[in-house]
Structure formats: C-alpha cells, structure tokens
Copies of this chain bind each other. A is one copy, B any other.
Amino acid sequence: MTYTKEQYIDLINQALETYLYSVNDGQDIVVDAMRYSVRNGGKCVRPMLVLEFCRVCGGNVEDALPFACALEMIHTYSLIHDDLPCMDDDDMRRGKPSCHKQFGEAYALLAGDGLLTLAFETLTKAKNIDASDIVRAVQTLSERSGVSGMIGGQVIDLLSEDGEPDDALLRRIDRLKTGALIQASVRLGCIAAGVTDEKILKAADVYAQNIGLAFQIVDDILDVTSSTEALGKPVGSDEKNDKVTFVKLLGLEKCKALAEELTGNAVQALDDLPGDTKFLTDFAKALAVRKN
C-alpha cells in the first residue's frame, strides 16, 4: 500500500492529537500552547520522511506514527525556542503570531520544554516495535537533536553572526541545524521497519544529507525571491539580520544550480533502497521547487 502526502498529513495530525493529551490538572494552557505551535500548518516534512522510509523498507506505517510525531514535536520545540526574544526574536511563524506572542514568553519557553520532553515519551508509545529498537530511536533522536546535532548547529550559527562565515562553515551549520533532524527522520523510519542493513542506512543518510542542504539553500533563495504573503513570515529577514546566506556567498543562480545538483544526488541514493521510491523522488524534487 502506498500513501499520498495528504493521507500522511491526515495520519500524522490525528496521531499528534492523541499524543498531545490534555492533562486537566490546571496546567492546560501549556498544552494549548504546544498544540497551537504543532498544529500551525507545518509541512510535516520530518514525520512524512519517517513514515515513508518505514514503508519503503517494508515496515508498517501505523507502527511508525509515534516516531513520526516525536520528530514533529522536536522540530516544533526548536522553532518555539528559536523565535524567543533572546534568540531570533521573531513575532510571526507560518503567518500567525509566534508562540510567545500568543501565550507570553514564560509559557512559550515551557511549551518548548514540554514538546521536547513529550517527544521522548511518545517514542515509548510505539507498539509492535522491539524495545531494543525503541532504545535505538531514543538514542538516535537525542544525539541528532542535541549538542552534537541540531542544538550544536544553532550554537555555531549564533557564534558565526559576528564573523565572516564561508561556504564550509555555512554547510557545517546546516548539516547540524537542519540536516541532523532530517537524518534522524529517515533513520527512525528505518529503525521502525527493523532495518539493520548498513547499505540501506547509508543510502538513507545520503538522501537526508542532500535534501537537508537543498532545503536550507531553497530557504535562503525564498528569503530574497518570495513575498511575505507566500512565505508566511517576513522576507528579507536574512538581510535585515545581517545574516550570511548561501545566496550572499554564491549568488542566486549558483544556488539554484546547487539545489538542483543536491536533489539529483538525493534521488540517486534511493537506488539502494528496497521498495518503490517514487514518493521519495517526488518529495525531494518538490522540496527544491517549493514556494514556501
């Protein structure tokens, strides 16, 4: 059985609603803030990758839903904390007020902490998956989202603001800040399917690395070519924040060519996967030409 993007997004949203349970003990405002940000029209890139890699590798998509939701929770917490005044100080996210604008800073901070914690709780809800594979999932997700992964990328990004980053540094920031979580997504999909074959895991990693970098480059392109309306957040924010981007370093045309090349690499890596990879091919191509 294959799934469309829309079917996946429905499955993911239904499952997120289950895991974002109400606590009804007086603290529901924080769950409201968590739900507000999680359900704020995200593209579900990461959870979809979990589900489709699980499917392509012969696993049961429904069994992988807790892993998929955990990825979306980690991604969302990182956005909530990134938007805070002491970080990027962004008032808007996906066309709506960012979490701290809607709920206040204290609850936004705690909503982020709550989602980060709930992500790990949700991993343990997986059914029909061996305990040892759940432990692998906890390990993979914590490593890739922690100081040697996503958080580390955030730190290097902050540190680089005062310097003159080059192409190599930008790639390193992206590999950690965006790439690490995309790698965690494909890896958790493989784990949910019980994959241990190194060749498959490697192919998944190569796919993730390439679409991760392409994703960031397209982000940089959209920041100069899109409109605030289409993007759901202010365009030109990189310029405003004096941020070094791939577009600034390489120019628009080279960036477009590079995004295309990376997408090609990603699609090629799919040859080593066992199942039908049409969805993942289309997915990589769609990310490269997306408008928001």
Which residues of A approach B to under 8 Å, CB–CB?
A: 23, 25-27, 29-31, 34, 77, 81, 84-87, 104-107, 109-110, 112-114, 116-118, 120-121, 123-124, 130-132, 134-135, 138-139, 141-143, 145-148, 151-156, 158-159, 172, 176
State the 5 A-B residue pairs at the shortest beta-carbon distance, nearest first. A121-B142, A86-B105, A27-B155, A131-B131, A117-B146
Contact A147/B23 with A135-B135, A139-B121, A142-B124 known, Cβ cut-off 8 Å: yes
Instruction: Let me know if A30 and B109 touch, CB within 8 A.
Output: no
Instruction: Give the distance in Å from the alpha carbon of A141 to the alpha carbon of B117 in the complex.
Output: 9
A159 / chain B contacts, CB cutoff of 8 Å: 26-27, 29
Instruction: Let me know if B152 and A25 touch, CB within 8 A.
Output: yes
- Interface centre among A23, A143, A146, by most B CB within 10 Å? A146
A106 / chain B contacts, CB cutoff of 8 Å: 86-87, 158
Instruction: Let me know if B116 and A154 touch, CB within 8 A.
Output: no
Instruction: Let me know if A147 and B116 touch, CB within 8 A.
Output: no
Instruction: Give the distance in Å from the alpha carbon of A26 to the alpha carbon of B117 in the complex.
Output: 26
Closest CB of chain B to A31's CB: distance in Å? 6
Contact among B34, B120, B141, B172 with A147 in the assembled complex (CB-CB below 8 Å): B34
Instruction: Let me know if B109 and A86 touch, CB within 8 A.
Output: yes
Closest CB of chain B to A105's CB: distance in Å? 4
Instruction: Let me know if B109 and A87 touch, CB within 8 A.
Output: yes
Chain A to chain B contacts (Cβ below 8 Å), 28 pairs: A23-B147, A23-B152, A26-B159, A27-B151, A27-B153, A27-B156, A30-B151, A81-B110, A86-B105, A106-B158, A107-B155, A107-B158, A109-B109, A110-B151, A110-B154, A116-B116, A116-B117, A117-B145, A117-B147, A118-B146, A121-B142, A121-B143, A121-B146, A124-B138, A130-B131, A131-B132, A131-B135, A134-B135
